[in-house]
Structures are given as structure tokens and as C-alpha cells.
Structure 1
Amino acid sequence: MSVFLGEILAHPALASADPVVHPPGAHTYAQPVRWVHSSEVLDIAPLLRGGELLLCGGITLASATPEKREEYVRALAQRGIAALAIETGGALPEIPAAMLEKAREYGLPVVELRKVVPFVGVMQAINSILVSESVGHLQQADAATRAMAAELAHGASLDKILGVLAGITGSAVRLTSPWGVAMGSAAPESWEGDGGRPDDEAVAGGQGGDPGAAGRVAISVDIPVRGVLMGRLEVQVKQGADTALAHVAGERAVDILGLALLQHTPPGLHALAGAELMRAVLTSAPAWRLEQLAPGAGFPAESPAVVAAIHAASPQELRGAVETFLNSSRIPSAAYQDDAELVVMIGLPADDTVGARRKLLESLQGLEGDQDATVALGPVAGRVAEAAWSLAEARRALEIRQVRRRNASPRRRHPDHGRVVVDAEDTAVESLALTAIDASAREAFVTRQLRAVLEHDAQRQSQLLETLQVWLDSGCNTAQSARELHLERQSMHHRLQRIFELCGGDPRGTGRLASLHLAVRMAGLA
């Protein structure tokens, strides 16, 4: 059976911490836990897999801004951790009410540890139990895959193969196409439902383990065949049943179900060519290889294309929306998914490349699917052979955005709400600086151009560099800059006057304008 949060909190190693759960309730205590981890790092979410009980001493949280605490909660909730346990007292007398409210909004259970306990001892005690449980799950999952392989060898139908998995996990299972068309389903004899078809509302919860309409938990596992997404396994587990076993068994069944799909519905040549083309793009294969593969995937070798890098908690959901949109618009495309990154190459018309790319940016913002995804669209590759460069620029745009957010002042570091679409053409200057100029040369250039401004900010805790950046990015529009910085126009004029004095005069109408702008943007990469 799975190990639930309630059991862990009742274990002597944690019970002595006098834990209080926010919000209280049976559902919170029934939350399955995959692992116990401890960290004070507020940017820990990308390093987690989901299902963890995260222990936090509260020291970093005590000095963090409200915006940073909210971002911390949001990122952990999106990662799908089981719960966040925070030690109170000392540096953090209590968990901030605003933080608890955000956790409730995002559906993240928070445990307040009101007494000090050694986190190392907690992890050793609980994780040893979890390891024993995992071994048992692996043994059961391997038994399921052996039985499924035997059925496959005897030519059984998809329903019969799925029936083996349903019987061992005690769950209803369904195999669908990437677009949701049912290809097979099964349920154990004791299942009380709709004949083995998992509830659509429950399945929508995905891997996050959200409860479905009938008090059930849905798990979704992608089934690739030769690099092509051919199906999706949906497992519906009754509330209180062994969700961990269903997770492990579903993941272990991927290869067998892939072979079954290959036998019953083999992928077409077009799909295989698209997957091979994307692998070539991802590995920066030689130009001749890309040109050789492109026609089979529906891309004329000389046609322009653009590559998007998409990071999402549930990339498979967004992939379906992207591919449906592109197919309905008859736009050539090929996609490849690797963990939390989805890479999509999209063909553009030669007669209106710029306009088509602009419309594509707008469409990516409005697509259905994971609204917390971050999408970066690379620059136009003049031909398919340059697709790897477009992808590299898209990924670099994501990195530059992260650096910008980290270096931004607290008042301008707003948490993301909704899907973020990043245009790599907006970060072309930073990309050039990172790839063509070494760090020491960048630093020397920034110092020569902005030394007086940087020293002024350091000595007087002013924001002249930020003001200069906003003003230059706005095209030297003083009124717009004042609005963005929440300043009165007179205050904005005073700041600009001081900046001009430090920089040797008003740069407008001189060659210094371009060099100042370049220096400001390079300073943001530090």
C-alpha cells in the first residue's frame, strides 16, 4: 500500500514536532507521499519529481518577500509535491497568513511543525519505509509486465492486455490516442463505475493526482513508439487505494504497451520521419541530414521554419493542443517531447514569413492546455538546415528571461500568472553578447559605459540603472517609462537629468545611445 501523509505525521519521528495541517481534512491526510526531502532553497521546485514531502526550516522564508513566498508555493504546487512542512519558531514565528492562503488556492497542503525535530532523522526513518514500499511495488509491477508480455506474445487484444494491468492495480485503465480517442480499456471485476472507462473529469487531473468526480485519482502516462507519441495510458484509482502501485505499474508497462500499439496500430511513415527529423534537430545533426529527412516529414528543404521550446508541468496536454491547432491550420510541424520540455518545429510560408510568425506568437498565447507553461519561440530559420540554431536561440531566450527575473528589483519581479510566451527576437542582443563576447569583455564594456551610474546606485541605493533601462527599452519615451516605474513625470525627468549628467549628456541623437543601450542590457546578464 502507499504511505500517506497522515501516517507519516503520526510516525514518532514527526509526531514529536507537534504538526498542524493547513487546511485540515481527510483528503489532506490521505495524500500519498513518494519521498521526504529537506531544503532551504526557494528555487528547489525544478529539482523535484513530484509526490515529495518537503521539509523547510523556515530560515530563508523568514527573510523572503511576499512575492517570493507566493512564487515558492506556486512552483511547488505545480511540481505536484505531496505537502510542504515548515518549522516555525525562532526566525519564523508563524507561517504567514498570505502564504497559507496562496497554498490553499493552489491546492498545496502545508504542515506547520511547531517544535524542532532533526530533519536528517525524519528523512532516515520515513524514507526507509518508503524504500521498502517501493521494492514491493516494483515486484508487483514487474509481475504485471511479465503477464502482459505473455498476453501480447499470444496475440491478445489491447483490452485483454490492459485487463492484466487493471487486475493487479485494482484500477480502471484506458488506452487512448494522443488526441483522446479510446483504443482499449479494462477494469477489475470489483470496479464500480462505467465499465472500465475512467471518468473524463478525473483523467483531466493528469499526473498531479487530483481527485476525480467519483472520489478517484487519475494518472496519465505517455506511450511513445520509436520516438512518436502513439498513445496515452490513463489509470483511474479509487480514493484510498494504492496510488503509488498504479504509478509504478503504469510506468513499467510503457514498453509492453508500446509494442502492443506497434502491433495493432503501427505509426505511419510521416510520423516516423517527423520524429527522426526532430532527433536530428535536437542533436544538431549536419545540414545534409536535416535536408534529407525534411521532405518525409512534410517540410520542403528550402522552406523557412521556426522552432519553439515549451516548458510545462504537463507537456503532453499542451502538445495535443499545439498539434491540433497546427493540423487544423494545415501548418507543417513536427514535435518531440523529452521530460518537461516539448520541442516543436513549425513551417512558415515563404511569402509572408514575418507576418506568419507574428500570428503564431499570438496563437501560442491563446491555446488550450497548461496555462502555466513557458513558451519560447525561436527566430526564423531561413531553411530547415538552420532549425537547430532556432531551437538554441529559443532555449537561450528562456535562460535570459530567468536571469532578468532574478536580477530585477522586487517591485518589477511580478509572479507569472497564465502562460508566458517569450520571443527570442526580443533577446537577440543578449544572445549575441553571451555567444560572441566573453564575460570579462562584457564586464569591461559595461563598466566603461556605466561606471558613474553603477557607483551612484551602489553608494546611494538608487535605481538609476533600472530607470535608464526602462527608458531605453521604451524607445526613450519618458511618459511611458514613468508609468511603468510608477513615478510622477517630474520625478522621472529629475532622474533622467541626473543620469545624463553621469553619462556625459543626453545621448539622444548621438552614437552613444546605442552603446548605452547595449551596456544596460549586458549589465542585466551579470
Structure 2
Amino acid sequence: MGLSVCDVVHLQVMNNAKVKAGKNVMDHKQVEWVSVIETPVENFVRKNEFVLSTGIGCESDPEQLENFVRDIIKSGASVLAIATGRYIFDIPDRILQMAAEKDFIIIDLPWEVRFADVLQTVMEKITEVRQGERQKADRVRQQLIDCVLQDKGLKEIAHTIYRHIQIPLAITDQTGELRASRKIDEKELQEYVRTENNDLQLKTPLTDVQFSDHPLYYHMKKCTINDESFFELQIINNHKIQGYLLFQPKQKKMLSWFVMNVLEHALTACALYFVKENAIELTEIRLKDNFVLNLAKQKEQVDHQVLSKGKLLGYDLSKPYICLVGDIEIPNREHESKYDHPDKSSSLQSFNYYVQKEITYAGKLFKKRTMTTFDEDLVIIYLEGGDEAYVETVNQFLDTMERRLSELLTGVVLSWGVATEKQNNFAFYEGYEEARTTMEIGIQQHGRGERTFFEDTKINRLLMNISKKSEIASIVKDTIQPLVDYDKKRQTDLIHTFVIYNKYKGNVSQTARALNLHRQSLLHRLRNIESLTHLSLIDSDDSFLLELSIRLWMLKKLE
């Protein structure tokens, strides 16, 4: 592929030229440009260039001519054609020997051959070859796009790329998971992916001798694992990395302009494929999310129609499930950079992705079916039941999920409510109601970051039933309203003060420490409570009435 020095030498304009050195490499050396240069060379010559020179200025100084040729070789040029007969009559053997040692081609061009004719003829040939390669690359581009439009996968895309460039390659997604490969050492590839995932910064931009002037060259990175070199190109769409195209050319010269064009079209095809795949996945996620959310919040019987719809989405609703509801507390703004979103809703969407991923992982680990959905800042999980020791199963499931989640994200607090296992026509709705209520009770009683099981809320559920009686509600209001009004007016928290005081069984010192108050300040608050409620905190009946009223008032807020 491309125009070789051999092709140039066989042009009519070069009929009288003589190859003096490097005959054995003429088929392998590419010509991408042609120019005329005299001393000094400096940085005016680029790689794979066909250089014409008269040797002017070096005619009386063989050492200067040798330095001139040496600079041309260092520049990466493919060939040097010296016009002999005016300034240089014979190319010194020492220079020819140096060229032979460097696999560099030197041509003796008769003085009568005009440089203008050589420039025109060679450039026309370069243009012709480039045009042919461009047309061929365009045909490859169409084939790759057709792979996407005709619903073919990444394996077909990889096969098409390999068929045209004959370079081992692989395609991975953004997580490094191998999606397709052709003729590549997958063992070494996995080592490469492992290195990348472990953030060992072995990948470097290509700063060595340039082997292609294609613009894509500057976006390539190189990594060497166990003496094997991988080249990497990012698959990007809308400024986001979708995956990686990895390839292993046996020789750098294999990365010709045509090959680079094919790789560029391959990146476009892969990006389109991932966009299409993501769109399908997002649609499926939305369908599943809405289906599970309706199961949880709509009191509808799980009839044959619902079972069939669930089956289409990959759910088996005939199994018993345990409902878990989690409250998500998004980290403060100093943590939001981890999600790359400035607002809470965007942060939550990003966080939901990680939660869903870890729920799926934990479900597979414990061989349990899972169904997940999100309702604002709540995560709703239906975990397959059937075990007698379901509490242990749930705890192991949540331990695994939260441990892996904490390794990815910091500062996020999850509070869980767990319902009992149910299997009836309204099991999903009733399970959600139980789990949500249990979670809210747990947050009020124990604070955030705890797990509360429905079976552990018997006293609270008893109190909630009692609170529905109008006479009880009236007693609670008469008892606690003065405290509520005082807290609202003075911006204090006498109700919380009593809860903590009662928690420590009337121990003033422990209560003061827990509330971070001076002992006298706490005593002042306790006297205010007694004054406002007309109850004595040292009287067991009065203290019980106040505790009962506060608990009923707090439970009422959950309804």
C-alpha cells in the first residue's frame, strides 16, 4: 500500500537514474512527499520524503557532503537523489557505504534531468495513489457504517477492519471489557486492561520517530506489557469516552496513510454502535424502571397480563420477593465533583447508575433475582426470597452492595427499610408500603445509615394504630402542642432534648454530653419542658405520658 521508492524509480522520468545504495529496501520504503533541499538540512525534511539535491556548497568538501547526507538520513527521508555532473561528479564510496549500513537509498540522477519534471511526475503519482487509497478507505467506511445500520455487532466491525488492514485488533467498552477481537493475544490484552484498571500510568503519547503524518497519529497512545506493544485510540462521542480501539502492528510501517484512514472510520463506526447500544439499553432501563415502580406504588393485582409483561422484561413475578427501600443521602458539594454534575438531581442520576450496577452484581453473586427502580431519592429493590433465614440473606446482600459501592463513591449514606417476604396478588405494593414505613421509622428512631426490619417495628406499628383514635389524638395534641409552638417560636429543640433525656433514663450528665450542652443549660431546658407541659419529669406517669405523646406525634409525621 502507498507509493514505494521502487514505484518512483520505475517512472519514465527516472529512466536514466541509477540506484547507488539501498536497492534491497526499495520495495519497503514509502514516498509520501517530494522536495528539493540543499545544505543545511535542519528540520526542513520530513519522514518518507523523496529528496532531490544538487549538492551545491559541498563540491569541494567531501566531509560536508557526508554530514549533509547523514542529516538527510536522520530526518527519516526515504531516498536522496543527487544530481551529478555539475557540483558533484561522483558520489563518494564512503557515503554509499554509510547509506547501505543505514538501509538508506541514494540515487545518482543525471544533471540533464530537470528537477521540475521529477517533482511534477512524482507528485502526480503520489496524488494518484492517495486518491486511490482514499476511495478504498471510503468503501471501507461505508462497509463499517453498514455494519451498524444493519444491526451487526462489534465482532462484524472488528472482522471488517482486520480484513482491510491485516493488523491484530480488539475493541473494548469504557470499562475495559473486551467486546470483539481479531488475531490479538487476548492473554496479553487482559494484562493490558488490568494495568489500565489499576491506574498504572504506562500509556504514553507517541513522542518517538513519527511514522505517519496522518492527524490521527497524534491521538494514539502506546503501552508495553511483557515486551508486547499495544496502540490505543479512544472511541469518543459527545466528548465522552465510549470505549477503546486497540491494535498491534508488527511493524510501524504497517500504519500507512490508508490504514490510519481505516482506523479513523473504525472509530466513527464504533462510536455509532455504542450510541445505538446505549440508546437501546436506556430504553430498556426506562421500561423496567417504570414497570417496577408501578408494581410498587399502584395497588394492582399481579394477574396473567402483569406476569406476561414482566416476563418480556426478564422478570419472573411468580417467585416470592422481599422489598427493600433505601433512602439516598447525596454527599455535600465538596464531594459532587466525583459525579461530574453540579446539581442534586444530576448527581442522583449518576449515583443511581452505580447503585443499579452493584445491585445486579450482588444479585448474581448470591444467585438471587433482583428488580430495581428509583423514586426521587429512594431506591426500591425486590430481592428474591424463599429462604427461611431471610434476614441473614438481606444483610449479606446489602453488605456486599454497600462495600463495593463505598469503594467507588464516598460520602453517600443509605438508610434501609426491609419488609417481610410476601407472595399474594398485592405482594409488591404491600411490600413497598411496609419497607418504606419501616425505613422512615428507622430514620426517626436510629438516625440515618441504619437498617430496620419490619419485624422490629411492632411497638411503632401498635402506636400508629392507637394514634388513629380521635380521643388519643386530642390528648397527644394537648400534651405536646406547647412544646411544638415553643420550639418553632424560639428555634429550640425541646422535643429532641426530652427524647435524648429519656434515652439515657434521666441521667443529666450523659444527656448533656450527648447534646453537647452545659449541665446548667440542659437543666434550664428540662425546667421549660415541665413548665410548658405542666408535667413533672420525675413523676413516672407524667414522664410516660410525655414519651407516649412525643412518639405518637413523631409517628404521625410519617403518615
TM-score by length of 1: 0.42
Structure index of larger Rg: 2
TM-score by length of 2: 0.40
